[in-house]
Amino acid sequence: MSMPNRFWIAGVVVTAALSAALVASIQASALDYVEVTALVEGAARYRGRAVKLTGKVVPATTTVGLDEAGKSTLTFHVADERGGRVAVFHRGPKPDAFRDGGVVLLEGALEPTGMRFAAHTLLAQCPSRYEEELAQHRAGGTSGGATAGADAPRRPGAP
């Protein structure tokens, strides 16, 4: 076998191995999206399994605290329109957009015991803000980007 053919064969083998590793990595990191009701009804199936969960924050269920290491904790309940409801625990600061009745997107898992969802990622939406921007845009006011930019952080020394 000539030298150039060996390089081509080695290149193909390396490319195939890297492609297989990339596909396996992507599949391992993909999380299933689960509704609150499905999570509650299928608790045995989802317990300990990482998933994405979305719902509305149930009013008057939010408690902010500190854990034994002095880190912020947040506990609250989320519900969906089908009536499912689950308690959530998150270690980390409360997002600025977090509100009673607001929509949250969580990544985490149902704890091995009990019915509490341990969220390692918490993203909060503020739909009223976007609805106001859309209404202004439809009325011929400023574009959504101009309104959103007013709250954007500025670089030091920028106007």
| pLDDT tens per residue, range 66-118 | 988 889 999 999 999 999 999 999 999 999 899 999 999 999 999 988 889 99
Question: Phi/psi at 154 (nearest 5 deg)?
Answer: -110, 150
> 31-128, what's its fold?
OB fold (Dihydrolipoamide Acetyltransferase, E2P) (2.40.50)
Q: Report the alpha-carbon distance of residue 63 to residue 21 in Å, rounded.
A: 42
Is the per-residue pLDDT at 151 higher than 50? Answer: no
68 or 23, higher pLDDT: 68
Structure tokens at 75: 């506990």
Q: What is the mean pLDDT of the chain?
A: 78
Write down the pTM of the prediction.
0.62
Residues 120, 106: Cα–Cα separation, whole Å: 8
Question: What pLDDT shows up at residue 154?
Answer: 41
> What are the structural domain ranges in the chain?
31-128
Say how far apart CA 63 and CA 140 lie, in whole Å: 41
Q: What is the pLDDT of residue 72?
A: 92
